[in-house]
Chain A
């Protein structure tokens, strides 16, 4: 089922896609995200806009996506199940589509315990797999979540989901990815990969089940600024695996930032050769300015043009 998503056209025509991530600010100005959008627009095919990541109150992902689209960069709106019930999710997504948003990424969302409103009520009316299923049904069968028909102008999103090969139980991760594909996900972005061996094992299981032929998998990477950042991800973020040799390499480096970029480029070059991977998702957290260099030096520039 075709949508107006440029990302979908690119992936469906067999190109190796490049997506990035822009985190909206903790204030009401779009100046910074517009700056990042202009910087990234010729280097990536689309960019995720996070939805109050780590449960910190930030400018709305849909509003940020409109700013970014206005700058000529295709946004992927992230929608978590943490903050909105099914009424709010549908309403916001109808609105997002009306504003020209064409890509949607469905996630559970980080628990509010991590953010700046730990006493907030968590919603989780539906979970990420149900969200994928319901949005796909809304598009293909023209039905609201309740089953009520949408008479006209149903939102036609290119629907994505996430997969975390580094969470547990490992054996079930590929099965759950398959469940997301069954539910209707058309592209998958993975958690940042540092443990390449584990990711390769994951992809092997993906290929055994033929999942890579049913969905576009974009491998997640994150350039690290320092060994402390690596150590933090290693010890304090649940569902992350950072091997010690990456921490050590950054520790020994004369210029850790440079080293972080080098590691990221090596990872991308490696990932490009893993069968079944259809793209790379670069999450340069609060370090968006390094993305053009990473893309260029990974041999992914210029980006292909699609109609």
Chain B
């Protein structure tokens, strides 16, 4: 019975994730168009709402071209790694507290791993293999440069990402994501307790997901398409999917760690039935994630790309010392308070 529930949860999660990814592409295109005083795709279906379907169909029908000198096994493996990592990271993110359905209490999280944050960190750093291998296996100089840049970028930003999370862990006293959310009840969101940590984490998240101020791995003006230059059809689609799935996961993690996850401040004092409390909590989580995603999209169309040396300077000279100082100050304060 528990296995069945987990299975249903996985299917629902995957469905929601893939659906959101498909529509996120549309949202991004529409928002970017609006920012540039255009209208954006509005032809397919009502107001362009069927555009994702058309996009996916087009990607599936396209010819799959593999370069003659590419290393084929890795060329095939790379998009799979990317997508697997992007989708499985989502497993530990808690959507809500608990919901009682058909007399059964269901935890709204696929896997409540006791090292939740470590799991996320480990998997997101695996994601770089997809990009680096794609760059290497394509046998194309631009792809290779993209892959190299990606690995350098992710290594340098992972440090500050991990260090800024330590502040959260110190306060919450646990690695489990659902416990961390529970620790943020009321207005005790970690964004207020850890503003510096939030900024360093959020900037690192941009770098980890290859979003625009740090999208050097694909950098289309310099590197053609970066790591996915030599990919076509569904394989390219998988990279695309992975990028947006990563974005959703990243914003879900940001929400969970810093914006109070599914916490709706003081909802238990309103006297609403338990079931509706759970529903409101899920909706709160979803809207928080959407706000973070919108923020990421608007940032993409606001800030120009960093130069490579600027990226490294920012990563090593600013982010790392800042997050280190954040850890030390947090630890000191906690030591003094207790």
Q: Does A associate with B in a complex?
A: no
